[in-house]
Structure 1
Amino acid sequence: MNSTTISIPSTRPVVAVVRGGSAVGVVQARRAARAFTDRLTPAPRPDTADTLVLVVSELVTNALRHGGGAFSLCLNAHPDAIEVAVDDPSPRMPHLRTPDLNGAAGGFGWHMVNHLARTTAITRRRTGGKTVTAFLPR
């Protein structure tokens, strides 16, 4: 999957969906997250918008690296939270790793997401793969 599709409803900006299968998809997911927060009413604080973009970036990057090379991102606004849900085709569950402080092996993303989110959840999908969900305070 090399294409990226973005859909942000113009009448009620409470849901955004992005699908991707490359690094370009990560960039598009970040842009969609920023556009999503820009269109919310009331607007979230700037630090909340920045946190959302960071969590989206980490989750879609993890889906590409560890989840089978493709993702589907859905953002949804609730009265007191912003929901970030990332689907990928892999049944492998995310796990905490010891961060690599001396190289480029990573290990920081899942720790960061769990620290920034109010709560996280991982759900196996009946059709295969999983959905990783993070709820951020609004």
Structure 2
Amino acid sequence: MNSTTISITSTPPVPTVVRGDSAAGIHQAREAARAFTDGLNPAPGPDMADTLVLVVSELVTNALRHGGGRYTLELSAGPDTVTAAVSDPNPAHPRERTPDLNGGSGGFGWHMIRRLTHHLTITPSPSPSGGKTIHARLPR
């Protein structure tokens, strides 16, 4: 009798860090999130990858619009989760506002982020200049 053992290993990916300070940074952050999920082993399903790209896009957009005009995105993964951490120089926490259904001025992002993530935390920056980091965790 011939016995075969199959071993599937999960390689912890190296965290990905992206920095931006303009609207072009939103596209760069989306591309980094997509490349990050494509490089995971085992790869997450396409729905999870799309959700991560959307969450990253919203977090980065909010950092640029409301957080001081620049951001640092760090993507990391564990065996069961993927985390997007977005830092910006504004210490103020995001606030929910009523979405603008007619004028196109936004208000949807924070609602979406809260709904799509498994766990969401906001931590103040340890730097003397202030700021915060929003950690959005999604199930892998």
Q: Tell me the TM-score normalised to structure 2 length.
A: 0.88
Identity fraction in percent: 65
Letter in 2 for 1:46: P
Please state how far the C-alpha of 1:12 moved relative to its aligned partner: 5.6
The residue number in structure 1 matching 2:6 is none
The residue number in structure 1 matching 2:137 is 135
Point out 4+ residue stretches in structure 1 off by more than 2 angstroms. 11-14
Please state how far the C-alpha of 1:15 moved relative to its aligned partner: 1.1
The residue number in structure 1 matching 2:70 is 70
Task: In structure 1, list runs of 5 or more residues that go unmatched.
Answer: 1-10
- SS of 2:94's equivalent in the other structure is coil
Task: In structure 2, list runs of 5 or more residues that go unmatched.
Answer: 1-10
CA RMSD of aligned residues (A): 1.2
Distance 2:39 2:13 in 1: 6
Larger radius of gyration: 2
The farther-off stretch of 13-22 and 59-68 is 13-22
The residue number in structure 2 matching 1:20 is 20
Distance 2:137 2:12 in 1: 20
Q: Does the alignment pair 1:41 with 2:45?
A: no
Distance 1:14 1:104 in 2: 38
Q: For the Cα contact (< 8 Å) 2:85–2:133, is it kept in 1? A: yes
- SS of 1:120's equivalent in the other structure is strand
The residue number in structure 2 matching 1:89 is 89
- SS of 2:123's equivalent in the other structure is strand
Q: For the Cα contact (< 8 Å) 1:14–1:40, is it kept in 2? A: no
Please state how far the C-alpha of 1:13 moved relative to its aligned partner: 2.9
Aligned pairs (5 A) from 1:108-123:
108-123=108-123
